[in-house]
Amino acid sequence: MEYYSEKISRLIAELSSLPGIGSKSAQRLAFHLLDMPEEKVKKFTDAVLDAKTNVKYCSRCFCLTDREVCPICSNTNRDNSIIMVVESTRDMAAYERIGKFNGVYHVLNGVISPMLGIGPGDIRIKELLLRLQHEDVQEVVIATNSSVEGEATAMYISKLLKPAGIKVSRIANGIPVGGDLEYIDEVTLLRALEGRIIL
Protein backbone atom coordinates (compact mmCIF):
# COMPACT_ATOMS: atom_id res chain seq x y z
CA MET A 1 0.00 0.00 0.00
CA GLU A 2 2.74 2.40 -0.98
CA TYR A 3 0.28 4.93 -2.37
CA TYR A 4 -0.69 5.85 1.19
CA SER A 5 1.72 7.55 3.55
CA GLU A 6 3.35 5.47 6.23
CA LYS A 7 1.01 6.26 9.13
CA ILE A 8 -2.11 5.60 7.06
CA SER A 9 -0.66 2.33 5.77
CA ARG A 10 0.13 1.27 9.33
CA LEU A 11 -3.44 1.95 10.45
CA ILE A 12 -4.81 0.00 7.48
CA ALA A 13 -2.43 -2.89 8.18
CA GLU A 14 -3.53 -3.08 11.83
CA LEU A 15 -7.22 -2.98 10.92
CA SER A 16 -6.85 -5.65 8.26
CA SER A 17 -5.31 -7.99 10.83
CA LEU A 18 -8.75 -8.23 12.47
CA PRO A 19 -10.93 -11.25 11.59
CA GLY A 20 -13.32 -10.67 8.72
CA ILE A 21 -11.69 -7.39 7.70
CA GLY A 22 -10.22 -7.52 4.22
CA SER A 23 -8.00 -4.87 2.71
CA LYS A 24 -10.93 -2.88 1.26
CA SER A 25 -12.85 -2.78 4.54
CA ALA A 26 -9.66 -1.86 6.37
CA GLN A 27 -9.17 1.13 4.07
CA ARG A 28 -12.79 2.20 4.53
CA LEU A 29 -12.50 1.94 8.33
CA ALA A 30 -9.16 3.73 8.40
CA PHE A 31 -10.51 6.72 6.50
CA HIS A 32 -13.65 6.68 8.59
CA LEU A 33 -11.51 6.87 11.76
CA LEU A 34 -9.45 9.68 10.27
CA ASP A 35 -12.65 11.57 9.53
CA MET A 36 -13.96 11.23 13.07
CA PRO A 37 -13.50 14.01 15.66
CA GLU A 38 -10.43 13.34 17.81
CA GLU A 39 -12.42 12.90 21.03
CA LYS A 40 -14.59 10.21 19.42
CA VAL A 41 -11.50 8.34 18.30
CA LYS A 42 -10.11 8.64 21.82
CA LYS A 43 -13.35 7.23 23.28
CA PHE A 44 -13.03 4.31 20.88
CA THR A 45 -9.39 3.53 21.64
CA ASP A 46 -10.02 4.00 25.39
CA ALA A 47 -12.82 1.43 25.22
CA VAL A 48 -10.54 -1.07 23.48
CA LEU A 49 -7.72 -0.58 25.99
CA ASP A 50 -10.04 -0.51 28.99
CA ALA A 51 -11.68 -3.79 27.94
CA LYS A 52 -8.33 -5.37 27.21
CA THR A 53 -6.91 -4.32 30.59
CA ASN A 54 -9.91 -5.10 32.76
CA VAL A 55 -11.66 -8.07 31.21
CA LYS A 56 -10.70 -11.41 32.72
CA TYR A 57 -12.21 -14.82 33.30
CA CYS A 58 -15.02 -15.28 35.82
CA SER A 59 -13.49 -17.29 38.65
CA ARG A 60 -16.43 -19.69 38.58
CA CYS A 61 -17.68 -20.19 35.02
CA PHE A 62 -14.67 -18.77 33.08
CA CYS A 63 -16.68 -16.48 30.84
CA LEU A 64 -15.04 -13.17 30.00
CA THR A 65 -16.15 -10.46 32.42
CA ASP A 66 -14.86 -7.36 34.16
CA ARG A 67 -15.83 -8.71 37.59
CA GLU A 68 -14.31 -11.38 39.81
CA VAL A 69 -17.57 -13.35 39.53
CA CYS A 70 -19.74 -12.63 36.47
CA PRO A 71 -23.32 -11.28 36.73
CA ILE A 72 -24.84 -14.68 35.85
CA CYS A 73 -22.87 -16.58 38.50
CA SER A 74 -23.66 -13.92 41.11
CA ASN A 75 -27.39 -13.87 40.29
CA THR A 76 -29.14 -15.71 43.14
CA ASN A 77 -32.21 -16.36 40.98
CA ARG A 78 -30.31 -18.68 38.66
CA ASP A 79 -30.65 -22.43 39.07
CA ASN A 80 -27.21 -23.65 40.10
CA SER A 81 -28.14 -27.31 39.71
CA ILE A 82 -27.93 -27.20 35.91
CA ILE A 83 -24.75 -26.20 34.09
CA MET A 84 -24.61 -25.57 30.37
CA VAL A 85 -21.14 -26.17 28.92
CA VAL A 86 -20.34 -23.84 26.00
CA GLU A 87 -17.25 -23.13 23.92
CA SER A 88 -17.10 -19.37 24.30
CA THR A 89 -18.51 -16.31 26.03
CA ARG A 90 -20.19 -15.46 22.70
CA ASP A 91 -22.04 -18.81 22.69
CA MET A 92 -23.12 -18.12 26.27
CA ALA A 93 -24.45 -14.75 25.12
CA ALA A 94 -26.36 -16.48 22.29
CA TYR A 95 -28.24 -18.58 24.87
CA GLU A 96 -28.69 -15.61 27.17
CA ARG A 97 -30.32 -13.67 24.33
CA ILE A 98 -33.18 -16.18 24.10
CA GLY A 99 -33.67 -15.77 27.85
CA LYS A 100 -35.11 -19.26 28.38
CA PHE A 101 -32.23 -20.93 30.17
CA ASN A 102 -32.18 -20.20 33.87
CA GLY A 103 -29.25 -22.41 34.84
CA VAL A 104 -25.61 -21.39 34.94
CA TYR A 105 -22.78 -21.85 32.45
CA HIS A 106 -19.31 -23.25 32.18
CA VAL A 107 -17.21 -21.73 29.41
CA LEU A 108 -14.49 -24.00 28.01
CA ASN A 109 -12.78 -21.23 26.06
CA GLY A 110 -12.01 -23.57 23.19
CA VAL A 111 -12.54 -27.12 21.97
CA ILE A 112 -10.34 -30.17 21.77
CA SER A 113 -8.60 -30.13 18.39
CA PRO A 114 -5.77 -32.58 17.79
CA MET A 115 -5.16 -30.86 14.42
CA LEU A 116 -4.39 -27.59 16.16
CA GLY A 117 -2.63 -29.30 19.04
CA ILE A 118 -5.35 -28.36 21.53
CA GLY A 119 -5.82 -31.12 24.08
CA PRO A 120 -8.23 -31.51 27.03
CA GLY A 121 -5.68 -29.82 29.29
CA ASP A 122 -5.78 -26.66 27.19
CA ILE A 123 -9.45 -25.89 27.78
CA ARG A 124 -11.34 -25.49 31.06
CA ILE A 125 -12.30 -29.12 31.61
CA LYS A 126 -10.42 -29.60 34.91
CA GLU A 127 -12.19 -26.54 36.23
CA LEU A 128 -15.55 -28.08 35.29
CA LEU A 129 -14.69 -31.29 37.16
CA LEU A 130 -13.66 -29.25 40.17
CA ARG A 131 -16.96 -27.36 40.12
CA LEU A 132 -18.87 -30.64 39.99
CA GLN A 133 -17.04 -31.78 43.12
CA HIS A 134 -17.94 -28.66 45.05
CA GLU A 135 -21.33 -27.67 43.72
CA ASP A 136 -24.62 -29.52 43.91
CA VAL A 137 -25.16 -30.15 40.20
CA GLN A 138 -27.99 -32.35 38.84
CA GLU A 139 -27.44 -31.95 35.10
CA VAL A 140 -24.71 -30.88 32.71
CA VAL A 141 -25.97 -29.81 29.27
CA ILE A 142 -23.20 -29.94 26.70
CA ALA A 143 -23.79 -27.18 24.16
CA THR A 144 -20.57 -27.19 22.17
CA ASN A 145 -20.97 -26.49 18.46
CA SER A 146 -21.78 -29.33 16.08
CA SER A 147 -18.39 -29.14 14.38
CA VAL A 148 -16.13 -32.22 14.44
CA GLU A 149 -14.18 -30.66 17.32
CA GLY A 150 -17.35 -29.65 19.16
CA GLU A 151 -18.72 -33.20 18.93
CA ALA A 152 -15.41 -34.75 20.00
CA THR A 153 -15.27 -32.42 22.99
CA ALA A 154 -18.85 -33.28 23.93
CA MET A 155 -18.03 -37.00 23.79
CA TYR A 156 -14.89 -36.53 25.85
CA ILE A 157 -16.71 -34.61 28.58
CA SER A 158 -19.68 -36.98 28.70
CA LYS A 159 -17.35 -39.96 29.14
CA LEU A 160 -15.59 -38.17 31.98
CA LEU A 161 -18.78 -37.22 33.78
CA LYS A 162 -20.81 -40.39 33.45
CA PRO A 163 -19.00 -42.34 36.19
CA ALA A 164 -19.72 -39.45 38.57
CA GLY A 165 -23.43 -40.23 38.27
CA ILE A 166 -24.37 -36.78 36.99
CA LYS A 167 -27.05 -36.52 34.30
CA VAL A 168 -25.32 -35.45 31.09
CA SER A 169 -27.23 -34.20 28.06
CA ARG A 170 -26.35 -32.83 24.63
CA ILE A 171 -28.28 -30.12 22.83
CA ALA A 172 -30.38 -31.63 20.05
CA ASN A 173 -29.82 -31.54 16.33
CA GLY A 174 -31.26 -28.64 14.45
CA ILE A 175 -28.01 -26.81 14.83
CA PRO A 176 -26.51 -27.22 11.36
CA VAL A 177 -23.36 -29.33 11.23
CA GLY A 178 -20.39 -27.03 11.61
CA GLY A 179 -22.80 -24.25 12.60
CA ASP A 180 -21.58 -21.55 14.91
CA LEU A 181 -23.97 -21.15 17.86
CA GLU A 182 -23.71 -17.40 17.94
CA TYR A 183 -25.13 -17.05 14.41
CA ILE A 184 -28.10 -19.36 14.90
CA ASP A 185 -31.59 -17.98 15.26
CA GLU A 186 -33.33 -18.03 18.62
CA VAL A 187 -36.03 -20.57 17.72
CA THR A 188 -33.43 -23.12 16.62
CA LEU A 189 -31.36 -22.51 19.74
CA LEU A 190 -34.37 -22.93 21.97
CA ARG A 191 -35.48 -26.10 20.16
CA ALA A 192 -31.96 -27.51 20.54
CA LEU A 193 -32.04 -26.85 24.27
CA GLU A 194 -35.56 -28.17 24.86
CA GLY A 195 -34.93 -31.27 22.75
CA ARG A 196 -31.64 -32.09 24.42
CA ILE A 197 -30.74 -35.75 24.57
CA ILE A 198 -29.63 -37.50 27.72
CA LEU A 199 -26.29 -39.15 27.10
Kindly identify the residues of this chain, within the stretch 45-74, that bind Zn ion according to CB under 5 A.
58, 60-61, 70, 73
Within 13 A of 136's CA, how many CA atoms are on the CB side?
A: 1
Cα-based angle 163, 168, 174 (whole degrees, multiple of 5) = 145
Q: Which of 71, 91, 188 is nearest to 142 (CA)?
A: 91
For residues 41 and 63, give the distance between their C-alpha atoms in angstroms, rounded to a whole number.
28
Q: Would you say 170 and 199 are in contact if contact means Cβ atoms under 8 Å apart?
A: yes
Strands 104-107 and 139-142 come out as: unpaired
Closer of 70 and 157 to Zn ion (Cβ): 70
Closer of 15 and 58 to Zn ion (Cβ): 58
**Min CB(13)–Zn ion separation in Å:** 36
Closer of 7 and 67 to Zn ion (Cβ): 67
**Min CB(73)–Zn ion separation in Å:** 3
**x/- contact string, 11-50, with Zn ion (CB under 5 A)?**
----------------------------------------
Binding residues for Zn ion, how many (CB under 5 A)? 5
Closer of 11 and 86 to Zn ion (Cβ): 86
**Min CB(61)–Zn ion separation in Å:** 3
**Min CB(132)–Zn ion separation in Å:** 15
**x/- contact string, 80-109, with Zn ion (CB under 5 A)?**
------------------------------
Cα-based angle 58, 43, 21 (whole degrees, multiple of 5) = 75
**Min CB(120)–Zn ion separation in Å:** 21
Amino acid (1-letter code) at residue 99? G
Q: b/e string for 129-155 if b means 16 or more Cβ within 10 A?
A: eebbeeeebebbbbbbbbbebbbebbe
Closer of 60 and 196 to Zn ion (Cβ): 60
Q: Which residues contact 126 (CB under 8 A, 6 or more apart)?
A: none
**Min CB(58)–Zn ion separation in Å:** 3
Closer of 73 and 137 to Zn ion (Cβ): 73
State the residues that interact with Zn ion by CB under 5 A: 58, 60-61, 70, 73
